[in-house]
Structure 1
């Protein structure tokens, strides 16, 4: 099986990719006959109170998952979601734990709870993400919200979970961690790629003008570039890490801030082109259950291993990857991420 980083690039005409994804490919819903039994298995899903996170949790429960941890910012909303999820599997254990992806302290506390409370962890879906329409700064970190949540906090959570997942799974059945990404990483322009330092340039609209569609895509690009490098330091025998694009999907929370005339266009697009939420969530389930060590470090689209963003293959991409790695290691040094990664090699 060819890894994403070694595959031919996406076609220059991205419309062909979009058309194929949304109109020609039909994602099959998961069934017990397709995937192995999840009896006795434990899964963690971030942002599982609504949208794709909720639906992927429901699907795993229908496949026999024994224990689910719903990781959410609002315990109240998490409990409401857990009550609905319980209908899919009344015998399953469903815990609701707080996780604020704008707070480094919250992320560290969450991982500590995973380590001290759970005796095993088989599957993790890092689904929590934002697509803000307006520029905003996370008060606890000083970074622009989309970069903070979709990139910095997501990779911190992934890194901190690595030794926990390694310790709470077995070598013959390593834990799977799927991180939600997007094919929009392929289309973003990344105009501030040459800024040094790079990461702070996202926090100043005078340096990098605000464009919400661009910012969402570039937050996913940064994550993609970082994770490809990270997986070079992590053995697939210990933890399998892959990324998944659910495709344009209706019924998610990403468009919650859309209003006015934009809302009309957004809803029209949803009706015409977007996948139902159950089909989008099925890509998450397939990334966890339908792919093994061959998917380590790969980007999955339409339930298949797909190419990385074209930018990865360019000279600028190589330079940016190294810069992103170095600056992120420095940003997250308070959590001893360098030492954690070294322990996984």
Structure 2
């Protein structure tokens, strides 16, 4: 549906539209009868922030099996322990997936083949590199590698697995796969035309964290929009979800922020940012409340957006 909402795109991509979403859009409750009992969900980047809270909110809906996809076993185990304490009736496993490694991504996908059923996948693992970081094994800059290339690869590997694992129970919904996006894709600097696009994510000259981040999210949105044209929504529902700007997350890494710009950005986030709980509810809405109508679309602020 997103492709039919062009008339709203100018407002949504305007700064006023951003402020409207952050201040005047409120969480919509999940339908009361919703239950995830008996279902299996996979959430990557689930050891903290939005990923952890997404796992928690899915478990609150009765989710029976949860795969916590993380790159650190210790952090994953710590997160899983807290979730097990809160939801002792659910089964929770920690699986390793490092999004800077194609080998790790493919190994994770192969492991998913061992599951008897998969109902929900949220590809939440993402980052913004404060400094230019080249991944030696792939020769790509880290932000584009994680947010776009590895996410796209994992999606392509998981789709046939999800199709084969969908429930055969009468009335069961098809599996849902969603990737956490960002409305910064609206403001991505344009790519140079007339040549390859991907190398432009890897340029060290003129590197700026938000420039590369927003471009990676734009390519992500374009990829999923086109991919959905090749996937039957009766087999797997594919969409992109946006939690909005949230405060109190570990997003951006652990680099100490000391410049004036860092301080201004900190105040901007803490004034305009949502709570993690509120932002996550928008993600869960895309995973649970939205159905085939969201296939190939951008789900933001509890609704389908352009």
TM range (shorter): over 0.9
Count of residues paired in the alignment: 299
Alignment of 1:36-185 (within 5 A): 36-116=34-114, 118-170=115-167, 172-185=172-185
CA distance in 2 between counterparts of 1:106 and 1:125 reads 17
Alignment of 1:235-254 (within 5 A): 235-254=232-251
2:217 to 188, 196, 220: 220
CA distance in 2 between counterparts of 1:144 and 1:29 reads 39
Distance 1:61 1:10, change over 3 A: same
Q: 1:15 matched to which residue of 2?
A: 15
| Paired residue secondary structure (1:11) | helix
CA distance in 2 between counterparts of 1:283 and 1:245 reads 7
CA distance in 1 between counterparts of 2:86 and 2:14 reads 38
Q: CA deviation at 1:146?
A: 0.7
Contact (CA 8 Å) 1:28, 1:279: kept in 2 or not? no
| Paired residue secondary structure (2:66) | strand
Q: CA deviation at 1:121?
A: 0.3
Q: What is the TM-score with the length of structure 1 in the denominator?
A: 0.83
Q: What is the TM-score with the length of structure 2 in the denominator?
A: 0.94
Contact (CA 8 Å) 2:28, 2:302: kept in 1 or not? no
CA distance in 2 between counterparts of 1:74 and 1:195 reads 41
Q: 1:291 and 2:290 equivalent? A: yes
Contact (CA 8 Å) 2:183, 2:242: kept in 1 or not? yes
Contact (CA 8 Å) 2:117, 2:167: kept in 1 or not? no
CA distance in 2 between counterparts of 1:245 and 1:16 reads 17
Q: 1:25 and 2:25 equivalent? A: yes
Q: 1:189 and 2:186 equivalent? A: no
Q: CA deviation at 1:91?
A: 1.2
Contact (CA 8 Å) 1:111, 1:161: kept in 2 or not? yes
Unmatched tracts of structure 1, length 5 or more: 308-345
Q: CA deviation at 1:61?
A: 0.7
Q: CA deviation at 1:195?
A: 5.3
Which stretch shifts more, 255-264 or 226-235? 255-264
CA distance in 1 between counterparts of 2:175 and 2:158 reads 11
| Paired residue secondary structure (2:86) | coil
Contact (CA 8 Å) 1:29, 1:278: kept in 2 or not? no
